[in-house]
Structure 1
């Protein structure tokens, strides 16, 4: 949504006060903000670069974050903060001292108690940052919503694990949890209501939101959740302990100029990597990029562990925060594969030559053969993927994203007060992406965000409505209306309005005999049943009949 865009430079700290300074006193100290102007000519206030944790350096590298110390004087929170180190990126803006929070608010009246959105950026757990920069949450601030964004550690700095207590893993998820606690403790000073915080995220940010719902220590901090194109049970959102340890060992070896360290214990790896320059670790992660990255993982039991149980099994058992959730998918999450037809053809040939590649690690032996046959028939029947490249795209969209997101929503519906499921199917120039292929839909991963976050890049300016067809502008306002309603009321359609075609959107439940209801957002708004049917039903049948429990992902 409004949080994917890269940001600018460093945090300023301490300076003389000037007449008319915009100051807010937080429990840790005072911050100076700036006035901003929304596209609707509404003045609001931005505070960017407030520390919520101590710099995670030295002995704090790879470890759980520690609350920021109090400060004297005034932090100049008027420029975007450092970015955390990103895998396969080399920017002077990257810095290990990156754990900052940003607040955008229409008022500084502490009595206002406005609804709050805490956004978590995506980026596959290897990239992303938060700030104002070239884009922003202006359209939501215009709706009297307080928007909070923050940086969390990604790549090895955020997710390295040695599969023991030396580097237990999930430091990035723990950063998110501390930022949530900071928001709860501080947001009233910025006009927000700490008892009305909605977590929001897209892609890895969406998965992160659901990871936070799986941590019961967050009870009472989250009012609702909005999840775009991700979930904790997506296969790309998890790495097993042994694979994490293997990555940590390889990372240390590369940092050591590919020379053996002679000791592969977790404690030894931790002490070695905590003693080298951060940019050396960052460079090593780029070298290892094609071999994978560290990800959220199950930790060994210890005080402060974020996640120790299988995500799927924990969700199915209802061991999860039970709040209203707005969750959904885009119509073809992996349509970007159509951007390189030669590569797509090669992928299709590999799947045609070995159908067992169609099923994930939960399937083995003869059950894997049966499941692969079922999945292949669902996409191409007796034909081949080489002859139906659109079906190859559909398979990737569903196996990586949609099946896991739909399943999360179905299971969550057994425990949540309300689950609102959507599919974003509208294709227009404001979405930017232009991928297309016969046999697949065409709305790409992340496309909905361009309708809701201010974007100005080159000649593209989504605040200039004269550059877009009327249907794009209508879709833009519809998404903002739906999202804003949920942020405010926990319901995307609390009352019938013409803009939303007077739809009343009912919560979904897996037990509905008509199917799992969802809102299809296209040129018109339609309530439908059974997202991604019948292919999703084939996946569900495969898991129910042939997969080996317990599941971690789906």
Structure 2
């Protein structure tokens, strides 16, 4: 508010309510994304009553919210609802952001209600009618049970995708998305608005204390095919194993994942976040303005809640830490924060609000931002703002990793690619 913008937060259906899909017209899916569009249309019609300008809307999100922003870039009927986008640590190109078997997921959910239900004895129409007879607490209980049981980014195959995320819908009036994200970004078939996008220095740092992390890493060591993204569509198991071994060698050499905590975290950070976010930025920059950042500042604000401070061979800032410096309320008691934390807070809020107002995080030299002017990405150049105790424009974030996976995709992946 001190920087002259109006902040609007929205609600949308989650879990089963927002992302159930039967893969056909009975329940096409993406209801949560359609709720977001509904909210954006409401903002267009009403924001002037709150001092806002409907022609200057920027959408912003973190993690699944960031993937949601990316999906709105791709979404049918989203054009004209916003003029800029901010994506913090998430992309629709991330494997976790796409349901690969929505119909199968719908029947799995139904099995929690009645174990006799299957695709041969229950139509998708009957399935949807069944769900509509359930009360809300039961639906939530079922949804939570399946979510906690099924593979996710924390489970043994880190690429299978969350079961409550986006789907590719069949063609119909009102469809949100009928083509995959990779194709749309590659072809320029998306909302061409300026975008600020980035990551933290070690997105998966919070996985260190996950109880089953050693078991997960041991599974990766025993079955390297588990770390190969489904987006490659590898049908030959022997090839899949070889690709997995090559990926493993890139991160840990001849060591084991289970004996290499730092490199294992780097693999998980790249697999879950970095690779897809960087790829989206590269693809998008061919058609629209893109600014990139990496947040590596580790301060006292997050120290009280962080489970780990330092892991050899890994970055020091985990998933969602950057958001604390954008949204932290400091006005009531600024004295409890260090000078370096307050400086980082001021920098982050200025970068974000600059982008909202000017579609550029550094529109002019400013002492707080060390008078840096961040260049846009281009087809041949990848500049990014490294946000640490000081600010610095660097180039080619994770270049060797991206070159490695680009080569693997070129050599082995079968079209069409959907995520990265």
> Normalization by structure 1: what TM-score?
0.70
- Residue of 159, 170, 173 corresponding to 1:300: 170
Name the counterpart of 2:148: 290
SS of the aligned residue for 1:549 comes to: coil
1:544 aligns with 2:410: yes
Unaligned runs of 5+ in 1: 1-140, 456-460
1:476 aligns with 2:345: yes
- Residue of 375, 380, 385 corresponding to 1:519: 385
Aligned residues of 2:107 and 2:117 also touching (Cα < 8 A) = no
1:320 aligns with 2:211: no
1:190 aligns with 2:66: no
Name the counterpart of 1:109: none
Name the counterpart of 2:111: 253
- Residue of 473, 485, 493 corresponding to 2:354: 485
Alignment of 1:376-525 (within 5 A): 376-416=248-288, 418-431=289-302, 432-435=305-308, 436-454=310-328, 464-512=333-381, 516-525=382-391
Unaligned runs of 5+ in 2: 151-162
- Alpha-carbon shift at residue 173 of structure 1 (Å): 0.5
- Alpha-carbon shift at residue 437 of structure 1 (Å): 1.8
Name the counterpart of 1:265: 123
Larger strand proportion of the pair: 1
Q: Following TM superposition, where does structure 1 have runs of at least 4 consecutive aligned residues deviating by more than 4 angstroms?
A: none
CA distance in 2, matches of 1:169, 1:463: 43
Larger relative contact order (Cα-Cα within 8 Å, sequence gap ≥ 6): 2
1:343 aligns with 2:343: no
- Alpha-carbon shift at residue 367 of structure 1 (Å): 4.2
Residues 346-380 of structure 1, C-alpha deviations (whole Å, 9 max, x = no match): 22222222222221121522543443233222211
Aligned residues of 1:367 and 1:547 also touching (Cα < 8 A) = no
- Alpha-carbon shift at residue 324 of structure 1 (Å): 0.6
Q: Which has the larger radius of gyration?
A: 1
SS of the aligned residue for 2:170 comes to: coil
CA distance in 1, matches of 2:261, 2:357: 42
> Normalization by structure 2: what TM-score?
0.91
Residues 195-214 of structure 1, C-alpha deviations (whole Å, 9 max, x = no match): 10001011111101111110
Name the counterpart of 2:137: 279
Name the counterpart of 2:72: 212
SS of the aligned residue for 1:167 comes to: coil
Larger helix proportion of the pair: 2
Alignment of 1:366-385 (within 5 A): 366-385=238-257
RMSD: 1.8
